[in-house]
Amino acid sequence: MGVKVQWLQPRKSHPQAFQRHTHQPVEQMNSDPVAGGLADYYRQRAGEYDAVYRKPERQHDLARLKKLLPAMTAGRRVLEIAAGTGFWTQVIATSAASITATDLNAETLAVAAARDYGQAPVELMTADAYRLDAIPGNFDLVFCGFWWSHIRRADIARFLAGVCERVGAGTGLLLLDNQYVAGSSHPITRVSQDGDSYQDRRLLDGRQYEVLKNFPDRAQLARDLEGWVTAFSYAQLEFYWLVSAVLAGPA
């Protein structure tokens, strides 16, 4: 089976997207230590990221998700936001009509580019989750794997507004993320006044980062998405949660 990965050039009329492609720092990131630190952490972690999917205690849930997700993405034209190393891109490529997998970091997408996606047309593109307008294509499903937990509570409306503006009302939304499980999750080291929680993460070479990581429960997710979506549905596994909904437009 041929791999059909294409690297897309963001439209040059969007200077910031073009800058990302040439590895220039994004202005917004520079002035925002939380978002900039998060992006840098994942850039540096790209080569070791997939170890998180080898945690023994999570294998049962991961096997369930590998069956659930393809059924939910079958025949859909998927815009994947913060796709990282393409672990879930590969899973949904078994059923999706097409996938445009985006991430801020070219380093994580370089790992994604080495995967085999079978016959599914998969395009990889650097893009900021808060600036989706430069991404070409038509989509009927937006998928975010382990990205929602990295959105500051104060940025949720901005993120959803950008998604709605790019793909329009009636588009499906699929969010997959972590439950907090003591002993398996990194401990929460602090909670900000806004209610954002943070963890200390260490790379294999010892470098330490403070990383924003929120763990909303079902009620919180329903409140956060209220007015933005219809057909909200929530599934809880031991280590993960999954939300499926349909975008309705600005709250």
Ligand X SMILES: C[S@@+](CC[C@H](N)C(=O)[O-])C[C@H]1O[C@@H](n2cnc3c(N)ncnc32)[C@H](O)[C@@H]1O
Closest CB to ligand X among residues 88, 241: 88
Residues, the chain: 251
Binds ligand X (CB under 6 A): choice among 146, 209, 232, 234: 146
Closest by CA position to 140, among listed 176, 177, 169, 103: 169
Q: Does 84 interact with ligand X (rule: CB under 6 A)?
A: yes
Choose one: 78-86, 115-123, 153-161, 228-236; the region binding ligand X (CB under 6 A): 78-86
One-letter amino acid at 216 equals P
Binds ligand X (CB under 6 A): choice among 8, 65, 79, 83: 83
Binds ligand X (CB under 6 A): choice among 5, 122, 125, 145: 145
Q: Does 105 interact with ligand X (rule: CB under 6 A)?
A: yes
Minimum separation from the CB atom of position 23 to ligand X (A): 13
Binds ligand X (CB under 6 A): choice among 17, 39, 79, 163: 39
Q: Which residues inside 159-198 make contact with ligand X, applying CB under 6 A?
A: none
Contacts of 84 (CB under 8 A, 6+ apart): 42, 46, 49, 103, 108, 111, 112, 145, 146
Contacts of 106 (CB under 8 A, 6+ apart): 20, 21, 23, 126
DSSP-derived 3-state class of residue 15: helix
Residue 240, phi then psi, degrees to nearest 5:
-140, 160
Separation in Å, CA 169 to CA 78, 99, 173, 230, 238: 15, 19, 10, 10, 31
Q: Does 104 interact with ligand X (rule: CB under 6 A)?
A: yes
What residue number has its CB nearest to ligand X? 84
Closest CB to ligand X among residues 117, 130: 130
Q: Does 88 interact with ligand X (rule: CB under 6 A)?
A: yes
Binds ligand X (CB under 6 A): choice among 90, 100, 134, 147: 147
Choose one: 13-21, 66-74, 102-110, 197-205; the region binding ligand X (CB under 6 A): 102-110
Closest CB to ligand X among residues 104, 163: 104
Own/partner contacts of 198-204, CB < 8 Å, gap of 24 or more, are 201/41, 201/45, 203/44, 203/45, 203/48, 204/48
Q: Does 73 interact with ligand X (rule: CB under 6 A)?
A: no
* Residue 138 near residue 24 (C-beta atoms within 8 A): no
Q: Which residues inside 209-238 make contact with ligand X, applying CB under 6 A?
A: none
- List residues near ligand X by CB under 6 A: 35, 38-39, 42, 82-85, 87-88, 103-105, 108, 128-130, 145-147, 150
